[in-house]
Structure 1
Amino acid sequence: MFVGIDLGTSAVKLLLMNENGKIEKIVSKEYPLYLPQPEWSEQNPDDWYAGTVAGIKELIQGFETKIKGVAVAGQMHGLVVLDKEDKVIRPAILWNDGRSKVQTDYLNNVIGKDKLSEYTANIAFAGFTAPKILWLKENEPQNFEKINKIMLPKDYIVYKLSGNFTTDYSDASGMLLLDVKSKKWSKEMLSICEINEEMLPKLYESYESVGVLSTDVALELGIKQKVEVAAGASDNAAAAIGTGITAGASCNISLGTSGTMFIPAYEFKADPNNALHSFAHADGYYHLMACMLSAASCNKWWMEDILNTKDYTKEQPNFDKLGFNEVFFLPYLMGERSPHNDTKARAAFIGMSMNTKREDMTQAVMEGVLFGLRDSLEVAKKLGIGFEKTTLCGGGAKSKLWRQMSADIMKLEVDLVETEEGPAYGAAILAGVACREFESVESACKALIKIKEHISVNQEAAKRYDEKYARFAKLYPALKGLFC
């Protein structure tokens, strides 16, 4: 059996998968998120590890002798720094932290986007790791001087489990420190950030074994046999694996806390305008990815914080209203990454009248998230990348209405996979490959991933949404100058 771990922003999710892909058990452990100042977002790495260990113990109870491999997928871009005694220097600065705007502007405008693209295939975003390192150097020099190891969130868990200081190419791609095309650390970026390669983890493919559970950890977990630990992957790459999206496949859209569009490829590709990220994939190849910072979290905010309800289904409009709503919602509750790269962007409702009802605004929130993702789809089309279908995952995929909206707004046939466990399931598959249970990631996906539902495009609704999207696309440029 194989343990797949998804280190998320609100909780760690763990699942136990057998060699046939069947999930035997799922466990989740929550931990706190700290927002000490506006635009700051932090967590304590030791909270992650405590939750992970407690979760593994609960997960494998009764199966201890059958565990063969473990892999961790996790939230991208976070900055975890350790001193020479391997102690965490300060709370981890997370992917959705916006404090490094000054450093991001410096990288993009002084170093230059062309240079960054040459060095890493990407430009700077406030969520990326390199701007966070520069922020630490400039604002907490005493902590910067203590740095002995720099790692990503999921790599902290791997380090604690195995004792090995490693990362994988998919997660490292989002640091703005990796030469993605060549799959090696960029000497130029290390120089800009005033760090050295010894501070950075050894690079692996996501499906490679980086070691085994340490003796102390195995003893604590009640495991006596050798258990392989895979390098693991970024949450988005692992989610793609969990839905069968490997090189040569179509696309995956995730409606999670953040929203992503994941486009796999055998060959390295780059967006010359840098609206899409160029990253390595967990299958050993590459992908283009769009990431919007607030997706299903917009709906959660609207339902729970504004409407004070958790009965999401009751609030949703009828299917016959798709494309007819005159209210728009800009989904920029925490700024935006793809394609605008604007930390100051903010959410807004537009188009309300005396006839606007509660359900119209609910519908606008759901539509706005998908319009935001369609912005990135249009960028992909301009690059000559075309596809006719996508898989859909994340919490938003559980909504029948959102599934149909996804097909109609994106004008893509939508497939739902039988096992909807995203990054944790993808991580378990990577663990299986690391243990040589499968020949490759692609062969594992073909053997394990099954489609359970297909959603076709409603052509009439799609036509209405085309017209509505054309209006939506004008809103951000019109309002950009008002955000502060």
Structure 2
Amino acid sequence: MKYVVGVDLGTSSVKILLVNQHGEVTEEVSKSYPLIRKQTGYSEQDPNEWVEQTIEGLTDLLKKFDGNPEEIEGISFSGQMHGLVLLDDHNKILRNAILWNDTRTTRECQEIYERVGEEQLLDVAKNRALEGFTLPKLLWVKNNEPEIYRQINTFVLPKDYVRYMLTGKLHMEYSDAAGTLLLDVKKKRWSEQVGELLDLDPKIFPPLIDSHDEVGTITGEIAKATGLHPATRVFAGGADNACGAIGSGILEEGKTLASIGTSGVVLSYEASGDKDFNGKVHYFNHSAPDAFYTMGVTLAAGYSLSWFKDVFAKDIDFDQLLAEVNTVPVGSNGLIFTPYIVGERTPHVDANIRASFIGMDASHGIKHFARAVLEGITFSLNESVEIFRENGKRIDTIVSIGGGAKNETWLQMQADIFDATIVKLSSEQGPGMGAAMLAAYGCGWFESLNECAGEFLKEDKVYTPISENVEKYSRLFTIYKEVYHNTSSLNERLMDYRQ
């Protein structure tokens, strides 16, 4: 039997899958690492932690594997997007990585608009200047840490650095590069124009490759440390959302994905880079060859739920927390939650907005609050679905992955709020499976990723909308959308009291 490895470098942990030729996950390992939060709005990690935990995870995986290491033919990667990793002339790390959920760069976003122009940026990068993207972080270092900035030889994104440490080869692939704001998304090349307008030296931009491209093999040192065979082929991989799309079969027009991890996304396949959403949703290069995808983002999806549990129900597990939400009626007895605990991205590009519980009274217990959190997360994702529909896209079937696919009540809630059929996969592995599929395709097991998906991915359950619930949620969604507009100015005024 032949195998491939998919490495999913997430925000809180690295998840590593060993997958056989039939798409079966035969071994799985997860290793966690900490976030570094120095002050409000800051979110960093030590890239060395990613590398150490990935090597440890691969080592544990090989210890559990009872086959011949030569049977593991390839390895590829999925990774958290936008994180800035700065390297010097010797490719040594210059500072902690600044992550996707770091919001310190509001001033740098304004600088981009002043020097590049919003219209020109949308024309080239297909996305607005948001605090989470890589370019504002690079400018922040330039403006605030000039000594470090002067030492920069190149920058990469999180999974690219891990891949470099496993192979000695340094690249960035298109699906992740699209999230920097420096890539000409349609032309698939670095934008010299944007770089020049911001006085960035083009020599710091790394070489670009496709997600399925082979970059080399693992180093002898990594082979010795992990037990992998030195001839294990390594492929570029993709951004976590692009890999999540591949791992969910979002590989042709009409396919849509709802993914609820730390953040949440609604993602839809695009065959070309020609559509114009006026920056309302993200527009990125897909990890599938010559394809694109559009995507709306909820910054704190699963994170809102884990935050709620940690603060209000620390002594119970998630299953206990959600055990009774199915006994709570639609609308949580008049309780609404907006999941803005770290700001929001779609449809409100707002780093200052914060979460609210609206409608609390003495009748509400922990089960009502838990259901309201689930509903609020799903309402936020539905704002992206609404944008897609308003722009002529047909959204009638959605594959659900991540935390939102692990609870039956939440899956039915998605069907009712999205007013669409929800598909749960029999083996939902998200971005890690997408990374494994890129390795399988790169190794030549299949003629296309679509063919690979046909072998690897199987449907488990389907949830259809309940008309009565659809109507109730439609009315409640209107109220939900009003909460942002009625609390945004209050949150602006509260910024002076945050530390």
| TM-score normalized by the length of structure 2 | 0.94
- Residue 223 in structure 1 maps to residue 235 in structure 2: no
**Structure 1 position 277 matched with structure 2 position 273:** no
Separation in 2 of the partners of 1:363 and 1:320? 7
- For 2:326 and 2:381, the matched residues in 1 are separated by 22
Query: Conserved in 1, the CA contact under 8 Å of 2:253 and 2:271?
Result: yes
Q: Distance in 2 between matches of 1:118 and 1:374?
A: 26
**Aligned counterpart for 1:308 among listed residues 286, 308, 314:** 314
Q: CA deviation at 1:306?
A: 1.8
1:187 alignment partner in structure 2 = 192
CA-CA distance at 1:119 after TM superposition: 2.0
Deviations 1:365-414 (A, max 9, x none): 11000111111111111111112110000123101111111110111100
Q: How does 1:1-150 map to 2 (within 5 A)?
A: 1-61=3-63, 62-63=66-67, 64-109=69-114, 111-150=116-155
- Matched residue type, 2:38: P
Specify which of 447, 456, 477 is matched with residue 439 of structure 1: 447
What SS does the aligned partner of 1:68 have? strand
- Percent identity of equivalent pairs: 36
Counterpart of 1:461 in structure 2 is 469
5+ long unaligned stretches in structure 1: none
Shift of 1:220: 2.7
Match of 1:428 among 414, 429, 436: 436
Tell me, which stretches of 5 or more residues in structure 2 are unaligned?
493-499
Distance 1:69 1:193 in 2: 39
Q: Per-residue deviation at 1:249?
A: 4.4
- Which secondary structure state, in structure 2, belongs to the residue aligned with residue 174 of structure 1? coil
Task: State the match for 2:163 in structure 1.
Answer: 158
> How far off its partner does 1:109 sit?
4.9
CA separation of 1:353/1:223 partners in 2, compared to 1, >3 Å: closer, same or farther? Answer: closer
Any runs of at least 4 consecutive aligned residues in structure 1 with deviations exceeding 4 A, and if so which? none
1:269-321 CA-to-partner distances (Å, cap 9, x unmatched) read: 44443120010111120000111110011111112222223333333322561
Q: Tell me if 1:250 matches 2:255.
A: yes
Which residue is equivalent to 1:210? Answer: 215
Partner AA of 1:439 in structure 2: E
What is the match of residue 344 of structure 1? 352
Superposed CA deviations along residues 336-387 of structure 1, whole A, max 9, x for unmatched, are 1111110001001111233333322211111000111111111111111112
User: Would you say the 8 A contact 1:269–1:278 is kept in 2?
Assistant: no
Out of 153, 170, 173, the position equivalent to 1:168 is: 173
CA contact (8 A) 1:438 1:444 kept: yes
SS in 2 for 1:13: strand
Q: Decide whether the 8 Å contact of 1:79 with 1:92 is kept in 2.
A: yes
Instruction: Please say if residues 164 and 210 of structure 1, whose CA atoms lie closer than 8 Å, have aligned partners that are also in contact.
Output: yes
Contact 1:72 1:230 in 2 (8 A): yes
Alignment match, 1:398: 406
Secondary structure at the aligned position of 1:24 is classed as: strand
Q: Distance in 2 between matches of 1:433 and 1:461?
A: 42
2:484 to 466, 476, 482: 476
Secondary structure of the 1:262 match is strand
CA change 1:314–1:218 in 2 (3 A) is closer
Structure 2 counterpart of 1:414, from 408, 422, 446 = 422
**Bigger shift: residues 255-264 or 347-356:** 347-356
Question: Would you say 1:287 and 2:293 are equivalent positions?
Answer: yes
Q: Distance in 2 between matches of 1:473 and 1:224?
A: 54
